[in-house]
Amino acid sequence: MPSLHVRHGGTSREIPFEDIFTDQNLEALGLTAATTPQAMNPTQIKQLVSSFLDVNLADFDAYEIDFHKNQNITVRPEAEFGDMDKTRRDALLRGWRNDICGTNLTRNGSVSADLFVGFLLGKGCSIEEATDVQMFKEALDFVLNPNKEIW
């Protein structure tokens, strides 16, 4: 059964199509019940998801919509790799070193990017800062080597 995968607010959710692409939800967008999810444009998908999650549509302004061959759809933040200023990243990580080391950021035996992004969002980071790849790599160093001197 196809599903819509949403990454929002530091969590990930799998929503079966039958729960989100209902006749009532489609009609609320001015679409017919015959509209398939793959025929919808990204704005319509974002409207549907924001309504379903009962969050502000603007939360999804900088989100990407990925349509997969297996019919699944992913709604995720845009990836911004390495854009954060190194001075800001270093200052944030230094300030949170103890918190990062004391937080369980693992799922099924490996470090979870979703849990880490949720941790950073909880600390007041923007989504751009929280999804910065270099930030994740350096924080991962804290988790795997809590006694290692980084700076």
Q: What is the pLDDT of residue 10?
A: 74
- Give yes or no for residue 54 having a pLDDT over 60: yes
What is the token pair recorded at 150?
Answer: 């980084």
Burial grade of 80 (CB within 10 A; 0-12, 13-18, 19 or more): middle
Q: Which residue would you say has higher pLDDT here, 52 or 140?
A: 52
- Give yes or no for residue 25 having a pLDDT over 70: yes
Q: What percent of the chain has pLDDT over 90?
A: 24
Helices (H), 10-101: 17-20, 23-28, 42-53, 86-101
d(CA 58, CA 39): 22
pLDDT band for position 64 (50/70/90)? confident
Q: For the chain, give the mean pLDDT.
A: 76
Burial grade of 32 (CB within 10 A; 0-12, 13-18, 19 or more): exposed
